[in-house]
A and B are shown apart, each in its own frame.
Chain A
Amino acid sequence: DAGVTQSPTHLIKTRGQQVTLRCSPKSGHDTVSWYQQALGQGPQFIFQYYEEEERQRGNFPDRFSGHQFPNYSSELNVNALLLGDSALYLCASSSQGGGLNQPQHFGDGTRLSIL
């Protein structure tokens, strides 16, 4: 049973560029959340997608956007990249709309480096 898969595993971009990260949720999961994790810090919630819509957002600017597809997979897009966007980007999935009793399962992330 495949868990959460993310691609690519590593990415190097320069300031001002745009990037798209991809996530396939664990089989049977319908909810996807994205997190940013800086070195030595805990994951910071970016947003959550359910039924192809963003239903909650953390304190991130509009440069961060996303999408969920009918097969529940998801993309995270970041425009106008800044040096401070360098981090590990984690995708997490859960079942039944991410409600009570549903822990999140994480992928191993995409390491994004901005030069």
Chain B
Amino acid sequence: EDQVTQSPEALRLQEGESSSLNCSYTVSGLRGLFWYRQDPGKGPEFLFTLYSAGEEKEKERLKATLTKKESFLHITAPKPEDSATYLCAVQDGGFKTIFGAGTRLFVKA
């Protein structure tokens, strides 16, 4: 069965303290892996799409990487405004997108 597991469930960082979020997945016929950011009371906001092992994408303080079994979202020198829930999702061989439960990130000034 297709599955996405994110860890840790929650992460508390000091401002400037870099860290990584993990997303492990099992899916038949991966068409793409996506990272989203979700703020309280809002819908998910698209960040990155990754398609093949070894691919990397960057946006400001965020960098996403992909291997055959997992993806990492690296956060460099985070700021309080980076506090949010980060969701990982995979698109299967059809048109279904499977989301993980997310990692809640708290960055303290």
Residues of chain A touching chain B, judged by Cβ–Cβ distance below 8 Å, are: 4, 33, 35, 40-45, 48, 50, 55-56, 58, 90, 92, 98, 100-101, 103-109
Is there an interface contact between B44 and A106, defined as CB atoms closer than 8 Å? yes
Q: Which of B14-22, B58-66, B70-78, B93-101 contacts A (4 or more CB under 8 A)?
A: B93-101
B60 to chain A, nearest CB (A): 17
What total of chain B residues lie within 8 Å of the partner, measured CB to CB?
Answer: 25
Contact among B31, B36, B41, B97 with A33 in the assembled complex (CB-CB below 8 Å): B97
* Contact residues in B for A4 (Cβ distance below 8 Å): 43
Residues of chain B touching chain A, judged by Cβ–Cβ distance below 8 Å, are: 4, 6, 31-32, 34, 36, 41-46, 49, 51, 87, 89, 94-102
Is there an interface contact between B101 and A42, defined as CB atoms closer than 8 Å? yes
